[in-house]
Amino acid sequence: MFRPRQPLNTVTGTWNGTATVWTSNPSYPGPYTDTFNTTLTFTGNPGSTWNVSNNTFSLSIPEGLITITITLQQDSTGQTEPITGTFTPLSDPTSPGSMDLSAPLHIDAGIAGSSDVVLPLSTSATITTPTRGVFTGQALDANGNITLVGQANAVGGPLDGDLVQANLVGTLVNAPPA
């Protein structure tokens, strides 16, 4: 028997928090910290894993005489490359929510140049930073708190080949239902 496909729901949520970034480059070690407030768009249906996307994430970090700006990368036509991933809602206190994202970031250090990195960010990842120790992602809890961490090597510019690490700690408001 053929069942028509159920249309996908769209839920708009807000993720507010603090991002901390480190690099393995001795000239730009970090930590660099800034607050963020960004919109996440979830598409899916209750009882399933939802797709998540964002096309507005940015950070602006004053550092000495320059400001380090972290934005989303653009493709060859100038279109923003969105953050994409999956979100599994909190179903009960013993089954916390999880999120895995791929964040194509452009790091602009002004006159020093710019680098790109595609950071895999996850509630289930762990990073060990050069100055602050170990950070582990934390699943979504009943209060909306969530932590994503990740690391990857940058391409181009002053960070070419260097490890970029990030810890994003925040609160998710209006997450999709389980």
Is 71 within the bounds of a domain? Answer: yes
Bridge partners, residue 108, by sequence? 69, 114
Is 1 within the bounds of a domain? Answer: no
Max CA distance (Å), the chain: 67
Give the domain range for residue 161: 9-173
Q: Which tens digit of pLDDT belongs to each residue from 95-121?
A: 788 999 999 999 998 888 899 999 999
Is 47 within the bounds of a domain? Answer: yes
Is 178 within the bounds of a domain? Answer: no
pTM above 0.85, yes or no: yes
Is 49 within the bounds of a domain? Answer: yes
Domain count, the chain: 1
The string of DSSP codes covering 46-108 is: TTSPEEEEES---EEEEETTEEEEEEE-B-TTS-B--EEEEEE---BTTB-BEEEEEEEEEEE
Is 4 within the bounds of a domain? Answer: no
